[in-house]
Structure 1
Amino acid sequence: MFRLALIFLYMSGYLVYSLPKLKRVQGLTEDLSVAKRDSLIHETPQQWSQTIMKMTGSKIEVQGKQHLPEGPVLLVSNHEGDFDIPLLLGHVNKPFGFISKIEVKKIPILSKWMEVMNCVFMDRKDRRQAVRSIKEGVELLKQGHTILVFPEGTRSKGGPIQEFKSGSLRLAKDAGVPIIPISIEGTADVFEKNGRMIKPASIKLTICKAIRFEEYKDKDLKVVANEVREIIISSRREDKLAS
């Protein structure tokens, strides 16, 4: 209970503390390159996320940092739990926005940070709005930003990786960018498996090799989704065999 209360207080307090920085990054001029602007914006969410993960007391191992190329990519990750976003923001050294459920847009300050980070809010209950969100994500990728998606659509809570929905991978195909599969193991052990209490865990984050646009452009998106899912699953199997 103590860790949970402490993290909640930190998250709330830091958002208020970040308001001056939010105003500064909202005022960044278009004279900056996309990479430079995104890097400046990413500093605060990254620091915030790294501190949150430290407060859980978890041990975090990151593999495959060398697989992150320059330029826009679609990051595709499995989704274990609520701590996936802080984990990725804090330990993937590449600024990115992400697809979020539209309800988050109602949260003060946080939603404004997500807007400057180039997050996309999606209402899965409204098909037309969801299509517009996909188009928005495609445009952001074409502009040079990186986007993260969780194709499972919901948290596995530490269970088997669920089927990947192919729709989110359309962002990469329509924008013509590489796909970076990412494996998350252990975040559900922090929260979801503990009756929603915080407990230190051993977390592994694996960034897999990029799938170039030329490698998947002529494939059906359902096939691509299955292949990306299998890459993520295989990366976990290989680690267990090596140990």
Structure 2
Amino acid sequence: MLRLIACFLYMGGYLVWSLPKLSGIKRLPEDMEFEQKKRRIHETPKNWSKTFMALTGSQIEVQGLNNIPAGSVLFASNHEGDFDIPVLIGAIDKPFGFISKIEVKKVPILSAWMEAIDCVFIDRKNREKAADSILAGVDLLRKGHSLVIFPEGTRSKGGPIGRFKAGGFRLAKDSGVPIVPISITGTADVFEKNGRLVKPAKINVIISQPIYSWQYKDKDLITIADEVRDKIIRSRDEKRIAS
């Protein structure tokens, strides 16, 4: 219970504390070098994520950082639990945004930070607006921003990896960026699997080799989704065998 209270007090306090930094981001010079500006914006979310996960007492092992290519990419990860997001923000050096459900826009300060790091909000109940959001995501990728998708669409809570929805891979198909599969295990052990309390866990993040546009451009979205899912499952199984 104490870890749960500490985590959520820290989260709320940090968001309030970050308001001046959020205001400062809006005043960054327009002519600032693109990569430098992205990294400046991501400093605050990254610092928050690392401290937030440290409060859980969890151990995080990251493999395959050298597999992330230069330039914009579409990260595709399985989705174990709520703590996937801070784990990825803290673990991956390349700045990126998330594809998120539109409901998160109602959360003050947090939604402003998500907009600052170029997250894309999708209204799943409105097909036309969802299509517009995908187009906005494609535009971001073409401009050099990276994005993360959770193709399962919902948390597995530590169960088997669900079937991947194909629609999110339209982002890669239309922009031509590499797809980087990511396997996450252990985040559900922090929260979802223990009565909604926060407990330490061993978390593994495995970043697989990228799938380039020349490898997927002639494939349909369902095939791409299945191949990415298979790659994530295979990397997870190989890790278990090695352990």
Q: TM-score, normalised by structure 2?
A: 0.98
- Give yes or no for the alignment of 1:78 onto 2:78: yes
RMSD over aligned Cα, in angstroms? 0.8
Structure 1 residue runs of 5 or longer lacking an equivalent are none
Q: How far 1:32 moved relative to its partner? A: 2.1
SS of equivalent residue, structure 2 residue 193 = helix
Distance 2:45 2:184 in 1: 19
Partner of 2:217: 217
Show the 5 A alignment for 1:184-223.
184-223=184-223
Partner of 1:39: 39
Distance 2:175 2:221 in 1: 14
The one-letter amino acid of 2:80's match is: E
The one-letter amino acid of 2:42's match is: H
Q: How far 1:129 moved relative to its partner? A: 1.0
After TM superposition, what 4+ stretches of structure 1 lie above 2 angstroms from structure 2?
none
Task: State whether residues 42 and 117 of structure 1, in contact with CA within 8 Å, keep that contact through their aligned partners in structure 2.
Answer: yes
Partner of 2:60: 60
The one-letter amino acid of 2:158's match is: G
Partner of 1:238: 238
Q: Which of 178-187 and 233-242 deviates more?
A: 233-242
Task: State whether residues 96 and 147 of structure 1, in contact with CA within 8 Å, keep that contact through their aligned partners in structure 2.
Answer: yes
| Identical columns (%) | 62
Partner of 2:229: 229
Partner of 1:25: 25
The total of aligned residue pairs comes to: 243
Q: How far 1:241 moved relative to its partner? A: 2.0
Distance 2:80 2:241 in 1: 22
**1:31-82 CA distances to partner (integer Å, 9 max, x unpaired)?**
1233221111110000000011000001110000101111100000000000
Q: How far 1:30 moved relative to its partner? A: 2.6
**1:140-160 CA distances to partner (integer Å, 9 max, x unpaired)?**
001100000000000000000
Q: TM-score, normalised by structure 1?
A: 0.98
Structure 2 residue runs of 5 or longer lacking an equivalent are none
Q: How far 1:29 moved relative to its partner? A: 2.6
Distance 1:182 1:78 in 2: 7
Q: How far 1:242 moved relative to its partner? A: 2.1
Partner of 2:104: 104
The one-letter amino acid of 1:197's match is: L
The one-letter amino acid of 1:207's match is: I
Q: How far 1:214 moved relative to its partner? A: 0.7
Distance 1:3 1:241 in 2: 32
Partner of 1:160: 160
Task: State whether residues 34 and 145 of structure 1, in contact with CA within 8 Å, keep that contact through their aligned partners in structure 2.
Answer: no
